Amino acid sequence: MLGDEAINLICGLLPPDGAKSGLKELTLSANPGITPKGWSRLAIAVAHSSQVRVLNLDYNPLGDHVAGMLAVAVASSRTLEVLDLEGTGLTNQSAQTLLDMVENYPTALRSLVLAENSISPELQQQICDLLSEGEEEEEAAGGAGDTQEWERGREPAAHHKGNSSWMCPSDPSSQMVLMTSGLGDSLLAETEM
């Protein structure tokens, strides 16, 4: 039952880089009272926050316009690892933007949920194929020894995709793309603090 006024207060808990510590996980599921103006304010705050790692926006009527703003926020964020956009009214236009972002811009994103949206199975498969290629390259590079692993560990998180894996629906008529996380217990432990 949150609205734009609540978003303004929440944005105050997402300080810009270098400021005081802020929220690391934010769940705003099922808040139809938030307008596109409120969502755009949140996207700007997320883009400039150095803390947010998990953002759950499932079951909000976001649509393609807001999803485009969120894609820019994800591309700008150095820390956002989990984004849940399940049942948010996205179409192939949003999925194409997200595909372009993942394909062309390094992000820290590890988990993306696009279930229950109007996204074509073909576009879902393109996303799956692209991320599968990135995962295979990461696995091949990981087998090169401890020195390379140490070098990769020194890079900023935004420069490599990590151990993320996409689970594509086995039924081509299914309308979902899921990405699971390899973060495991470390993310759980961090979000419970």
The owner of tokens 């990461």 is 138
* Residues forming beta bridges with residue 180, ordered by sequence position: 165
pLDDT in tens, 168-179: 443 334 334 444
Read off the pLDDT of each residue in 135-157 and give the average, rounded to a whole number.
Answer: 45
Q: How far apart are CA 78 and CA 27, in angstroms?
A: 19
Q: How far apart are CA 96 and CA 179, in angstroms?
A: 16
Domain boundaries, the chain: 36-135
CB 39 within 8 Å of CB 71: no
Q: What is the largest distance, in Å, between two alpha-carbon atoms of the chain?
A: 52
Fold of 36-135: 3.80.10
- Pairing label, strands 178-180, 165-167: antiparallel
pLDDT in tens, 20-44: 778 899 999 999 999 999 999 999 9
CB 60 within 8 Å of CB 28: yes
pLDDT in tens, 73-123: 999 988 988 889 999 999 999 999 988 988 888 777 777 888 899 998 888
Closest CA to 127 of 139, 115, 142, 143: 115
pLDDT in tens, 58-70: 999 999 999 999 9
* Band of residue 10 on the pLDDT scale cut at 50, 70, 90: very high
